[in-house]
């Protein structure tokens, strides 16, 4: 008996549809919701305007003392204000620590600190409850691990804030409507339930991977069967191109129109779980980051200057290094200021030559191939990244993986990197799953329209299949 006969394909397609139809239907619906309501995340444009203005004159403690208290130099160092007092935030051994910059004492976060920070973030709103949690449905992101456990603060208007138990900062905010829509959006689409995500990602990854793969196979079989049943020349009785009627006809026709997009969406969704470690977005290695920062001078980061030359409110200051030079980044509402670490005066953006010099040697046996100024990004730096930092300088290396770095000249930061593997992933996932390809990659509204139209086709396709499956199951 042959496994791949048309009869067997019909049976596999039918029973996979009965088993997975509801899930695929929800994937189409939730995908549309996600176009308009993202999973809760605290954005910089929300956080920075709510911070107090940094007051350099109140700082009495040099950054050196922070490293002494922690037992080593921190990986990141920031300065902000809390209730009118300057406060260092230092990332050390994957955990945030805070030290008062006016006294040198380590911050021990109290319920009062939590209430002060929460009320400053949402002035005028009434707090009705605070509690200490490890994680919940909305705070399961790995980006929050360094702040756990978290203080969850609930307001009378339905807003919920999550604050770090180490720094007393707001690290996540959610609203009642955002949470409600996400139950029909990201939670369903990503199968993002706390029990699956509690033990980090492995169980969740396996579940998503082994649901999306058979769904992809089901879609591929459906396309094959749909084309086999289509007659454009020797038509069926009455001149019909399809032999079906009723719901079966709706399923057949919508499958022919939207089936290919259904297949590519399911396949790219499966690829997003990186099965068999195939393809992935590129991340900088620790060695690359260290080389870019350069050999920092002996000793800790320099002390904060007495004055900051920015012309707008600076809510936070971060110490960074580029090519061995310490730089202060002042985070304001409308831009990030690059400041001289000694004088506090604004710095002009670095020339492209400085970046190409530093990029040389980033990877073993790799030289500089080209440096290009990108005013409007390219096929691999687009969309939200383009909005976050633009223009950028792309530096291409001549290594076997064709590595490229995208640098924000206004901050010296490498804001993205690509190689052949990540470029392939960009086309197999972002292009197929989000329709991020020309001319839709930087045109949000036209892309939304196309996604919605095809999603409607996918809903009709799946709903018709579910009706047929239900009738098959309930047939006497």
**Per-residue pLDDT tens digits of the chain, which is 476 residues long:** 466 788 888 889 999 999 999 999 999 999 999 999 999 999 999 999 999 999 999 999 999 899 888 888 899 999 999 999 999 999 999 999 999 999 999 999 999 999 999 999 999 999 999 999 999 999 999 899 999 999 999 999 999 999 999 999 999 999 999 999 999 999 999 999 888 877 556 888 889 999 999 999 999 999 999 998 888 888 888 888 899 899 999 999 999 999 999 999 999 999 998 888 888 889 999 999 999 998 655 567 888 998 898 889 999 999 999 999 999 999 999 899 999 999 999 999 899 999 999 999 899 889 999 999 999 999 999 988 887 888 999 999 999 999 999 999 999 999 999 999 999 999 999 899 999 888 888 888 999 999 999 999 999 999 999 999 999 888 84
- Read out DSSP for 204-243? HHHHHHHHHHHHHHHHHHHHHHHHHH--SSS-BGGGBS-S
- Cis upstream peptide for 61 (omega within 30°): no
- Residue ranges of domains in the chain: 6-37+197-279+443-471, 108-182
3-class secondary structure, 381:
strand
pLDDT of residue 234: 85
Q: Which residues, including other chains, have CB under 8 Å from residue 108's CB and lie 6 or more apart?
A: none
| 140: its two tokens | 């399961």
d(C-alpha 218, C-alpha 273), whole Å? 19
For the chain, state the CA radius of gyration.
27
CATH topology of domain 108-182: Nuclear Transport Factor 2; Chain: A, (3.10.450)
Residues 318, 326: contact at Cβ < 8 Å? no
Report the SS3 class of residue 131. strand
pLDDT of residue 275: 87
* Distance (Å, whole) CA 370 – CA 382: 20
How many C-beta neighbours within 10 Å does residue 79 have?
A: 24
Q: Provide φ and ψ at 248, rounded to 5°.
A: -65, -35
The span from the CA of 172 to the CA of 40, in Å, is 7
The per-residue pLDDT for 199 is 58
- Phi then psi dihedrals of residue 450, to 5 deg: -65, -45
Residues 6+ apart with CB under 8 A from 375: 390, 391
Would you state the pLDDT for residue 438?
Answer: 84
């Amino acid at each position: 008996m042959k496994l791949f006969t048309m009869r067997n394909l019909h049976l596999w397609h039918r029973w996979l549809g009965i088993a997975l139809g509801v899930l695929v239907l929800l994937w189409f619906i939730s995908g549309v919701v996600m176009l308009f309501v993202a999973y809760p995340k605290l954005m910089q444009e929300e956080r920075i305007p709510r911070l107090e203005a940094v007051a350099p004159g109140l700082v009495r403690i040099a950054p050196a003392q922070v490293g002494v208290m922690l037992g080593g130099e921190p990986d990141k160092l920031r300065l902000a204000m809390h209730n009118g007092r300057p406060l260092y935030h230092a990332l050390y051994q994957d955990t945030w620590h805070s030290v008062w910059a006016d006294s040198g004492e380590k911050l021990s976060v109290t319920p009062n600190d939590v209430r002060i920070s929460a009320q400053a973030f949402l002035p005028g709103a009434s707090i009705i409850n605070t509690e200490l949690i490890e994680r919940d449905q909305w705070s399961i992101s790995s980006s929050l691990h360094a702040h756990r456990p978290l203080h969850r603060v609930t307001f009378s208007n339905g807003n919920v804030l999550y604050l770090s138990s180490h720094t007393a900062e707001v690290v996540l905010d959610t609203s009642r409507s955002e949470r409600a829509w996400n139950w029909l959006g990201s939670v369903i689409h990503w199968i993002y339930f706390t029990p699956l995500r509690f033990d980090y990602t492995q169980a969740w990854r396996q579940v998503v991977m082994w649901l999306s793969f058979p769904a992809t196979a089901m879609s591929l079989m459906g396309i094959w069967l749909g084309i086999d049943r289509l007659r454009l020349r020797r038509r069926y009785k009455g001149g019909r191109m399809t032999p079906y009627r009723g719901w079966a006809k709706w399923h057949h026709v919508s499958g022919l129109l939207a089936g290919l997009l259904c297949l590519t969406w399911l396949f790219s969704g499966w690829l997003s779980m990186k099965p068999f470690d195939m393809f992935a977005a590129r991340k900088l290695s620790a060695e690359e980051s260290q080389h870019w920062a350069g050999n920092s001078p002996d000793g800790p980061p320099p002390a904060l200057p007495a004055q900051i030359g920015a012309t707008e409110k600076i809510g936070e200051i971060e110490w960074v290094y580029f090519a061995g030079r310490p730089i202060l980044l002042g985070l304001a509402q409308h831009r990030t200021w690059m400041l001289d670490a000694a004088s506090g005066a604004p710095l002009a953006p670095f020339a492209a030559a400085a970046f190409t010099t530093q990029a040389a040697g980033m990877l073993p046996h790799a030289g500089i191939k080209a440096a290009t100024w990108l005013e409007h990004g390219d096929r691999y730096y687009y969309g939200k990244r383009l909005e976050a930092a633009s223009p950028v300088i792309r530096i291409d290396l001549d290594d076997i993986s064709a590595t490229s770095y995208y640098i924000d000249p206004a901050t010296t930061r490498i804001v993205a990197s690509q190689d052949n593997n990540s470029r392939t992933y960009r086309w197999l996932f972002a292009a197929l799953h989000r329709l991020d390809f020309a001319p839709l990659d930087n045109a949000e509204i036209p892309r939304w329209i196309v996604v919605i139209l095809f999603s409607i086709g996918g809903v009709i396709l799946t709903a018709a299949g579910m009706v047929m499956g239900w009738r098959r199951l309930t047939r006497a």
